[in-house]
Structure 1
Amino acid sequence: MSPDPESHTVPIRVLIVDDQPLVRSGFSMLINSQADLGVVGDVGDGAQAVALVDSLAGRAEGPDVVLMDIRMPVMDGLEATHRILSAHPGVTVVLLTTFDLDEYALDGIRAGASGFLLKDAMPEDLLAAIRTCHRGDAVIAPSTTHRLMQRFIDPPKPQAPADPRLDELTPREREVFELVGHGLSNAEIMQRLVLSEATVKTHVSRILAKLQARDRVQLVVIAHESGIL
């Protein structure tokens, strides 16, 4: 597998957090095989992850992206995600889930994780997710993230009050927001609305600011919870 075309002079630093040594070893070999990625550590539970990120904060070997398992002993990935992102907002967290068992993945996204992957994802999907999240976007493939949210978000109550932040959106921003909520990428939104890439990016940036959302994943959460889909 070749590295992403947008290679980095300094490799993206990745911390692997999983209670299974074989999983950590496999991920490490895959990530270290890429010229633009590098593993700075691997630990077996959330408490160790929090301690390591704290100790490396501000140092050259501090992680850019944390691959975080959800179900672990001592401290699970959800609590660890909350603690890491509360103290170090510049770090990106990608949750790892078995999907059928991890019913709390949505809580991790609400805590600020930039997305999640199935543990049996293809290697190229894992590598792409690391690069995508490091660029400030989110992993939100309709085949994974969207289905998980549909499964675990309660249907909105008919009389539930509307989110007042939605009133701040212009009609065009509302259109873009709804398409993001359905899991469409910028390229797909460009085609659907016949807009330029720069225009779509501008709309998404403004929507993120107006809805006070960290990334596209949280926009999907807001779209579902507000009942606009």
Structure 2
Amino acid sequence: MSADPTRILLVEDHAFTRDGLRAAINLEHDLRVVAEARSGEEGLEVLARTQGSAQPVDVAVLDIGLPGMDGIQTAAEMAARWPSVRLVMLTAHDLRGEVLAALASGAQAYCLKSADPDLLLLAIRAAAAGSAYLDPQVAHHVLGGIRAPNAASPLTTRETEVLRLIADGLGNKDIAQALGISVSTVKLHVQEVLLKLRAADRTQAAVQALRQGLL
């Protein structure tokens, strides 16, 4: 018997956008939109009803620019009241401050509305699995400011350099060339970064570092 699909709450004030998101998500056998809201306040009301039921919401997909209580405020409230609900932030903007605020609010994933629908599906699945996801269109813009380790950082200077180049989109071979070290040494540094930040993958490592104020 196949597993139950991931149950999703859509919080989006524009009906056209909401219809498109629902259609794209419901095409997938492992994902299902089970509730919708047009504002942050309504989204909180929906979760207050569903989370005590036999079919609780697993993932909430929120527009960052909601009327009234915006997506960041809503995400922070959801994270505080229902920590089991994973949060995916959806926005038309790639502003660094906005992205960092979204991640700080408790969101596990951040995706642009202009991105390919497959990326949103990837973000939802990553969040549902407990991983982090940052839209590749904004990863360089947001994480490219990494320059030196924070005094309290568990990362060495070299590990921070490796993480900065990962954020710039470089693979292990290019990182090795940029730093003048071997690919095997790069792999060791990446392993150490993931271990120290308790991250499952490179994107999650960058997100964890942002949340801990290490970047």
Please, what is the CA RMSD of the aligned residues?
3.7
Instruction: Identify which range, 77-86 or 22-31, moves more after superposition.
Output: 22-31
Matches within 5 A, 1:99-118: 99=93, 104-118=98-112
Task: Tell me which amino acid in the other structure corresponds to 1:130.
Answer: I
Tell me which residue corresponds to 1:163. Answer: 150
Output the amino acid matched with 2:106: G
The residue number in structure 2 matching 1:32 is: 26
Residues 183 and 140 of structure 1: is their aligned pair in 2 closer, same or farther, counting only changes over 3 Å? Answer: farther
1:81-120 alignment, distance < 5 Å: 81-99=75-93, 104-120=98-114
Q: Distance in 1 between matches of 2:57 and 2:141?
A: 29
Aligned residues: 204
Equivalent pair of 1:140/1:146 in contact (CA under 8 Å): no
Instruction: Give % identity.
Output: 29
Question: What residue identity is the alignment partner of 2:77?
Answer: R
Amino acid in structure 1 at the alignment position of 2:16 = L
Whole-Å Cα distance in 2 between the matches of residues 122 and 83 of structure 1?
28
Query: Could you say which residue in structure 2 is the equivalent of 1:17?
Result: 11
Deviations 1:21-50 (Å, cap 9, x if unpaired)? 111111111111111110111100111112
Q: Distance in 1 between matches of 2:106 and 2:140?
A: 17
SS where residue 38 of structure 1 aligns? Answer: strand
> How does 1:57-206 map onto structure 2 within 5 Å?
57-99=51-93, 104-148=98-142, 163-166=150-153, 168-169=154-155, 177-182=163-168, 188=171, 194=183, 203=192, 205-206=194-195
Structure 2 Cα separation of the partners of residues 31 and 63 of structure 1: 14
Matching residue of 1:5: none
Q: Is residue 2:40 matched to residue 1:46?
A: yes
Closer, same or farther: CA 83–222 of 1 in aligned 2, 3 Å:
closer
Contact 2:103 2:211 in 1 (8 A): no
SS in 1 for 2:7: strand
Pairing of 1:3-14 with structure 2 (within 5 A): 9-14=3-8
Q: Is this contact kept in 2: 1:139–1:217, CA < 8 A?
A: no
- 1:218/1:125 Cα in 2 relative to 1: closer, same or farther (>3 Å)? closer
Does the 8 Å CA contact 2:111/2:134 hold for their aligned counterparts?
no
- State the alpha-carbon separation in 1 of the partners of residues 194 and 96 from structure 2: 30
Query: Which runs of no fewer than 5 residues in structure 2 stay unpaired?
Result: 177-182
Scaled by the length of structure 1, what TM-score is found? 0.71
Q: Shift in Å at residue 68 of structure 1? A: 0.7
| Secondary structure, aligned partner of 1:104 | helix
For 1:221, the equivalent position in structure 2 comes to: 210
Q: What is the DSSP-based 3-state SS (H/G/I as helix, E as strand, rest coil) of the residue aligned with 1:165?
A: coil
Q: Which runs of 5+ in 1 are unaligned?
A: 1-7
Q: Deviations over 1:69-97 (max 9, x none)?
A: 01111211000000111122222111111
CA positional deviation for 1:147: 1.5
Counterpart CA distance in 1 for 2:111 and 2:6 is 18
TM-score normalised by the chain length of structure 2? 0.75
The 3 A distance-change label for structure 1 pair 87 and 199 is farther
Indicate if the aligned counterparts of 2:5 and 2:29 stay in contact, CA closer than 8 A.
yes
- The range that moved more, 108-117 or 74-83, is 108-117
Deviation for aligned residue 1:104: 2.3
